[in-house]
Structures are given as C-alpha cells and as structure tokens.
Chain A
C-alpha cells in the first residue's frame, strides 16, 4: 500500500536545502510576450536564471523552445516547473537534468587582441580547444567555440591574460540523449 507507515521524517525534509542546477526545456507557443512571461515569472518569484536561450523550432506548429538553466533547492525547482507549466502559452516543460542523460551545449564568439608571442599562444590554445578562427586581423582573432559551459569558461579564462577583448555567448541549448523527444 502507498500509505507511509510512519510519520514523514522532517529532518530529511530539512536537509533538502542543498541547491542543484537544472536544465529545463520549455516548448511554448511562438507569440508576442511569451518570453516576457517566462522572464517575469523568474524575476517576480525570485528564481535564478543562470542561462536562457530561445528560438523558434517548429514553424508549422508555431512553437519556440526555451532552454533555461536555473538553480535552487529541489522544492524550488519543482515549483519553477509547476509555475512554468501553468503559463497559458506553455505546451510542455521538461527537466532534462532529472529525466535522464542529456547534452547541453553553448556557443561563444571570443575576441582576443595582441601581437607577438601572446598572439601565437592564443592560437595554440584555440587549436587545442578546437576553437575555430572566424575572423583575423594582424592584431586580433575572433574564435568561435562550441561546447559545454565549463569548457567555454576554461577557454575564456585562458584567453584573459592573452588579450581577451570581449565575449559573446549564446547560453545553453540542450536536448535529451536517446530516441525520445520531449
């Protein structure tokens, strides 16, 4: 039977204060204001947004996909999912972190300026990280790099002393592994 034989252990509940990161995929109606609703929900209720990306993914069905990386206690993460799911233009909310293995990738454009040894070193590291040179002048490079967030962080950290000028990142796009869609 489903009935818990004893009272719930409140001490266990109290220790559920550790935060975790969650990658969520949200399928929404592609309409005006939908992103504002999602962002307003997070700011209005004090939830964290670590990263957020959005783009249309299905023109025929008029759907956009929002990928949100957020963090919070398990209770807060559950609450975020429930709050997202009750927005009128939201079709589906999937917690990719909970629902099994998934791939999360980010793309960044990284501008580095410098000459001489620093310039050569930047190019060498870019090669090791499989970053592509998409623009070059005699005193600068723009690298394009795709990968997990921590890989991008590591690369950008290495570029800092080598003349990092600026970074443009897309935020995380994520999808579950295996044959099933959300």
Chain B
C-alpha cells in the first residue's frame, strides 16, 4: 500500500492511493468479504490490487451473467449487498441480464464495470461499450467515475443506494486511467445523501386507518411479498406475529415464500397464476386485503378489472411508485415492511374496536372448504417401474432433505419446475428461497446456488432445474469444481421447455413449435466431465436412492430425474383470466367452470 501522510494544501485529508486500491479499501470499509467476477483488460489494475491483499475473496465465474446471479444468490440468502466485478464492453453487456433480474426482484447488488480510459471514451475503442447508457434502465442507479478523487465517495454512495429503500442493482463504471491514477480516499462519508432519502417510517394516520379497516373486516386476508424478506428476518417474525394476533389467513407471493411459515395452519400457500385454489379464491372473495411488500404483479392479479372486486385494499410498500400502479388501493402506507408490521401490531393491540370473530370464523369455514379441494393433488403410481411425476420428485426431495436436518436453500431456474418447487417445497424461514420472479431468467438457478453456497459453506444448497434452463449457464459447473462447492443440481428432465409446451398445449392447439429439447447432453457424463457426480433416475423405484445419494455426497452433483413429459402445472389462471376462473388439474373431480379454458383473445396477447 502506498499510504502516505503527505498532504497537498488543496487536498488536506485522505490517503493517497491508486484508484484500484481505493476500490478495494471502499469494499473493505463496506464489509465486503467476497466478490464475483471475471477479469479483462480494463479491470486489470483492480485484479492486480486483489492479488496483493487477503481481505476480499474473489470468485472467478465462467460468464459475467453468472457473476451477477451469484451475487444475487449471495445477497438474497444473507441480506447483504452482493458485489460483482467485470471488465468493459462484453463484460458489462453480459452482466445486463443479471442486472435487470436484480432490478425486477429488488436485490441489492453493486456491479463494478471496467471502462476504457477517459480519453478514449466515445472513440469506439477496443472493448468499449456505453455501459452507463446501456445499464441506465437496467439498474436502480449508475455512475461513471471520471476523477479518481470522486471514486471513494461514489463507491460508498453506490452501496447506500443499492441497499436503501427498495433495494436494487447499482453499476459503477470505472475507466482504466481512474483505476491507475492516484487520489485521496476519505473513507465512508458521514453526511446523508443529498437527494435520495427514502421514507421508511410509516405515517401513523395511515396505520390507524389500516387497523380500523382490518378490525371491521369480515373476510380478511394478508398478502405478503418479497418486501418482507428484504426488510430482514425480523420482518418475517413480525408478519407471523401479526397473522397470529389477528387470526387472518395469509398468502405469500412467489418472492415472499418463507416470510410466513408454510406449515402454519393460517398459511394458504402461494397465490397467483400457479397459486393454490384457496389462496386465489380467498383473494377474490375477501372484503379487506392487507398487502405487505408485494406489488400487485400481473402474475398475481390476473385480469385487473376482476381482481378482488369487492375488497378494501391496504398496501404497504417502501416504494411509493408501487402504490396505485396496477391496482387502486384504499389505504396506502409508505414504509419499511418491518416498521409497518411493528406499527400495525401496536395499533391493533391499542385499538378498542372489536373484530367480528363470528364473521371471520365463517370466512375460515369457507376457506377450509376451498382447501379441501386439495388443488395440489397428483396421482403417482407406486410401482417401481412407474414413470416419475415431477411433483412427486420434488415432494420426495423435500422430505428426504428435511430428514437430513440441515439448513437448506433452494434456487430454481424458470418454468414448470420452478412453479412445482414453489408449490411443493414448504419454506419455514425467510432467505431460503432464491428464484427469478420478475424477469423470469432461465439460467438463474445454478449461479445463484453458487453464490448461496459461498455465503453458507455448510448448508445444503439445491438448484431445482429443468433440462432446458440448466443449459443456459451450465458452464458454472466449472466454478463449482474450482471452489469445491457441493451444490446439488436436481434436474426435472421432461425433454421439453415444459412451460412453453404447456402453453402450446393449452393455448396453441398442441403445436409444439420449437419447445422440444432435442440433442440433450448425457447429464451424468456432463457432470463427470465437470468433476462432479452424475446420477440418474428414470423410474419411481430409483428416485429415493438417487436423492439419498445426492444428499450424502459432499461434492457437486447433477441428478438427472427423467419425469413424465406430459405433466402440466396446475392450478393455473390463464393469462387475462380472473382468480375465480382457475383451471385445476386432471385429478380434480369437481365440475369445471363454463367454457373449458376460458381464454379470451384479449388474454392470448398477454404472456
């Protein structure tokens, strides 16, 4: 380190360091212990500085997209900011998918990108890309640092922006000359940010209004999302307390799974397009809806004008732009989920209004009748030679993982397997479920699992995958081998892009255009070539043994589970339909709603 106490008169404070040294100092001062990255010409000064220190561990990925997903997995499973380091040009453009993924799912990530030297910017130099221009709509905020003396301040600001308010990805673009030049590093700034100061404390009047509405409810429901997870484990504890205190039913969004214990009798399961019958009908029929940290996503609401038509809606969100964006609400609360929940609990206890417990009991009776439909039922032949149902594979994976007693983290890719994982895995705690919800990024799960395993070396980390998705970032098997990360990849292999096939079957006359996974690799040999263990189950009789072996091995594993190719994911609310127009699976004997699928032309254009 070239720290000196030489003080130039115009810059009296701060150590004189190279830009690359400032980067590492700032990361260290932010408590960063690991970064995910890939070197290249523009970031060589940072890699050189990395080489000469031990405080920060660098994980070398095999593709920059995977670096961002790994940082997301790290961030989601720890609640800390994930950090990425990539080079200029293709390094930065490869990272864009991961950045948008983090933006859509509100994951705090700081991504450092190399850039050509300042005097070459705009010259179409080798490996130049307009990174701040390209990532402007892909990030919560981005910076181009042009003066090494701004570097420390900008980096600290980037971490503040990434983690504050509604979290998200922040890019800091670093021209090579800025990394080489020497400048002053002044440590973490004390002063508050000049313009970005999100509101976290809820307005007491809004809390009083919300509790008055809740106390007057006859058919209430609490609908909690990823905002509760982002607010930290305390928010999940408070959510559970509020649900128990009120006696209300609770449903979680895809992003919110784990915020409320799945085994709790007051839990209705996930809601939305592939949510449970009871959760969706309760949302449709409720008279007071309490939304904590969810954003009325189109996967959740279905057809907007028929979404929960007779309810008063309370919406608590840290992002004011989420309120009244899709659904007009009757009571808006801007604030951090934990603070909102704490205030709601206090106000509920203080309020003298009485809840109509008789009406709520009748509502529960109705919900139990819906629950009795057992919408997640499936039929699995127990014959040893029988074909494996994907739902059964996940259920067995869940049961056998649970039996190990280990802290278990699940990541997924995107598609049918993702929805089945969300339906059949019972998440009892927050931060154990990592999935690409908003962007729906195939190829998310393996690198995310990598990031989770780095953060939790002793935990059981499983990527529930499809055979199509897994190929989108399969190169990361090499990273698993290099760092001896015992991630388990559990592939539900139906030889189709299953969700595409399902939609083609249900909506496009069974014309399976380009959705067959032709020319698949032999996943067992593929695992072995990547220094991992390859396992395969093709029939029910083999499944438990394969899962047991996978869980027992202390190495990366790919388990290729060959499942029923024709299986569809139910329940399903077709695009453009309302919650009460759900399709149930073939196992449901009750009469169907009128008109079969009931997909309108209006619905067909939706995704």
A contacts, CB < 8 Å to B: 1-4, 7-8, 10, 13, 28-29, 32-33, 36-37, 40, 44, 75, 78-79, 82-83, 85-91
Contacts and interface: CB of A to CB of B under 8 A. Distances in A.
B320 interface: yes
A88 B141 contact: yes
Contacts of B310: 7
Q: Please provide the 8 A-B residue pairs with the shortest distance between their CB atoms, ordered closest to farther.
A: A82-B321, A2-B209, A88-B141, A3-B212, A91-B195, A88-B196, A82-B320, A83-B321
Nearest to B209: A2
A82 B166 CA distance: 13
Interface string B221-259: 000000000000000000000000000000000000000
A37 B136 contact: yes
Given A78-B324, A89-B195, A8 B132 contact: no
25 contacts: A1-B212, A2-B208, A2-B209, A2-B212, A4-B213, A8-B312, A8-B328, A13-B328, A29-B194, A29-B195, A33-B136, A33-B142, A33-B144, A36-B136, A44-B137, A75-B328, A79-B321, A82-B325, A85-B320, A85-B321, A86-B198, A86-B319, A88-B196, A90-B195, A91-B195
A8 B323 contact: no
B139 to A, nearest CB: 10
A3 B209 contact: yes
B155 to A, nearest CB: 15
Contacts of B457: none
B32 interface: no
B189 interface: no
Contacts of B325: 79, 82
B323 A82 contact: yes
B140 A88 contact: yes
Contacts, number: 65
B195 A86 contact: no
Contacts of A90: 195
* Interface size band for B: 20 to 34
A91 B194 CA distance: 8
Contact of A3 (B133, B166, B213, B311): B213
Contacts of A85: 320-321
Contacts of B311: 7
A37 B143 CA distance: 12
Interface in B284-338: 287, 309-312, 319-321, 323-325, 328, 330
Contacts of B196: 88-89
Nearest to B160: A88
Looking at chain A's contact residues, the main secondary structure is mixed
B472 interface: no
B162 to A, nearest CB: 11
A171 to B, nearest CB: 22
Contacts of A91: 194-195
B165 interface: yes
Contacts of A28: 195
Given A2-B212, A4-B330, A8-B330, 8 more contacts: A3-B213, A32-B144, A82-B320, A82-B321, A85-B320, A88-B195, A89-B196, A91-B195
Interface string B178-221: 00000000000000001110100000010011001100100000
A91 B197 CA distance: 9
B106 to A, nearest CB: 12
B84 interface: no
Contacts of A32: 144
Nearest to A92: B195
Nearest to B211: A3
B321 A10 contact: no
A4 B314 CA distance: 12
Contacts of B165: 86
A70 to B, nearest CB: 15
A3 B132 contact: no
A134 B368 CA distance: 80
B540 interface: no
B161 interface: yes
A75 B309 contact: no
A88 B161 contact: yes
B309 A10 contact: yes
B320 A86 contact: yes
Contacts of B212: 1-3
Nearest to B329: A8
Nearest to B196: A88
Nearest to A13: B328
Nearest to A78: B324
Contacts of A82: 320-321, 323, 325
Contacts of A7: 287, 310-312
Contacts of A2: 205, 208-209, 212
A33 B321 contact: no
A75 B166 CA distance: 21
Nearest to B319: A86
A53 B569 CA distance: 51
A88 B141 CA distance: 7
A58 to B, nearest CB: 12
A140 B197 CA distance: 54
Given A82-B321, A86-B165, A36 B133 contact: yes
B141 to A, nearest CB: 4
Contacts of B208: 2
Contacts of B142: 33
Most B CB contacts (10 A, CB to CB) among A7, A28, A86, A87 go to: A86
Contacts of B312: 4, 7-8
Contacts of A33: 132, 136, 142, 144
A29 B213 CA distance: 40
Contacts of A87: 141
B324 A79 contact: yes
Nearest to B322: A82
A90 B216 CA distance: 40
B323 to A, nearest CB: 7
Contacts of B287: 7
Most B CB contacts (10 A, CB to CB) among A4, A90, A91 go to: A4
Contacts of B323: 82
Interface string B142-178: 1010000000000000000100011000000000000
B136 A40 contact: yes
